[in-house]
Amino acid sequence: MRALGNDVLDFVVDFIEARATAPAVDLDHPLPADAHDVIDYVKHAAAKAADPAGPGYLAYIPGGGLYTAALADFITAAVNRYTTVAALAPAFVAIEQQAIRWIADLFDYPPTAQGILTTGGSMANFSAIVTAREARNTRSGGGTIFVDDQTHHSVTKAAGLAGFPSDAIRVVPTDAALRLDVDALEDAIKNDKQPAIIVASAGTTNTGTVDDLDAAADVAQRHGLWFHVDAAYGGFFQLTERGRQRLHGIERADSITLDPHKGMFLPYGTGCLIVRDGNALRRAHSAGAEYLQDLPDVGLPNFAEYSPELSRAFRGLRVWLPLQMHGPDAFRQALDEKLDLARHAYDRLQATELFELPWSPELSVVAFHHPDGRRILDDVNRSGRVFLSSTTIRGRHTLRIAILSHRTHQDRVDEAVDLLEKAASEWRSE
């Protein structure tokens, strides 16, 4: 066991050390013909990939993978405690509950709040919609969900899974800044027979735009609707002073989706939903099971009653251990750095006068246009040094730089801007 473990440890530490110089994407990586040496085969398979936590990954929303979280997962898998029912592993459940409570505290949620660690933002949005549906008692009678044209597609997917027909989803327009148009929202609600749920974004995936959450909360309050905020991408910027200002009003949400596998740099499979009224989350997800009748109440949540899952991965340790080992300040500083880097990229791109930059970055995504954006994207990505992705906004091809890997620092952002500038100048000189 020790020898195998040492092999794995060597592989992992070498892998992490290689991130600084590894290509941003390496899909041509050759695999050994057979898997004779298993660890060696895994090593090669791991290399044949895009590198979402590498310094050059500026596409989509970058991922994480802190070493301390990997250690937590190793422990979790090796000891394999059953954290679904609190009485069977109360100390581990207390650890997960502490991690959830730390997140709830970030948003000034009351002691009656409760959350759940999910596999990601999509499942958090799903449980949020189900919770709102139960709380608004709209199961049989329908009810309308209000989203906007920049809402993440997982919200409409969640609504469908939760049984809302597609005509129960009303898409409200966004304003020139790509923010939910709150006046249009209010009009749409007034013209609706059964308004039920408002979904706003704290950091859209396209541009990192944060809706006017205070204004949306006012509308929700005025009409007695459930107010959900999808903060999967942007939520943890709440740790920073600038983020807290931009996310102002989020603390009034009935429920918030977060993705620790984005803003806390944790490995994939770590999402979170927090719900202001913990009982609402429980009512929507609990169902009696006679064979659990012997288990005493240990004063901790039975997570099965708050989630669609029964048996579940213990995700608590991979959130809790890095927080304990690095401290919240390390996360705050890293996120502050990402905000600075986005501002820096925006300023530099602006100074080239080669790109059209309609939106100044609110968080860590910079979106911009160029008439030959598709070719520029190919040129830049061919370098292997950075990996960018594009999107379409209001029918226009849009390039983006999304900065969220804990390994991305100014040198690589500067390199990305240099590559973009070079590709765009070449286009212009033709």
What are the residues binding ligand PLP (CB under 6 A)?
61, 120-122, 152, 154, 201, 205, 230, 232-233, 259, 271
**Between 61 and 247, CB nearer to ligand PLP:** 61
Distance CA 232, CA 405 (A): 15
* 53, 403 Cβ separation under 8 angstroms: no
Tell me the CA distances in angstroms from 71 to 8, 59, 68, one per residue in order: 12, 27, 5
Supply the minimum distance, in Å, between the C-beta of residue 267 and ligand PLP: 12
- Distance in Å, CB of 266 to ligand PLP, minimum: 11
CB of 343 to ligand PLP, least distance (A): 20
- Comparison of 233 and 265: residue with beta carbon closer to ligand PLP: 233
State the minimum distance, in angstroms, from the CB of residue 61 to ligand PLP: 5
Of residues 352 and 391, the one with the C-beta less far from ligand PLP: 391
Of 55 and 203, which CB lies nearer to ligand PLP in the complex structure?
A: 203
Beta carbon nearer to ligand PLP, 243 or 271: 271
Q: How far is the CB of 203 from ligand PLP (least distance, A)?
A: 6
* Nearer CB in complex with ligand PLP: 121/361: 121
**CB-wise, 93 or 106, nearer to ligand PLP?**
106
Instruction: Find the shortest distance in angstroms from Cβ 247 to ligand PLP.
Output: 13
Measured from the CB atom, is 273 or 304 closer to ligand PLP?
A: 273
**Chain residue at closest Cβ approach to ligand PLP:** 121
Q: Residue 180 Cβ, how far from ligand PLP at the closest point, in Å? A: 13
Q: How far is the CB of 302 from ligand PLP (least distance, A)?
A: 24
* Number of other residues whose CB lies within 10 A of the CB of residue 421: 18
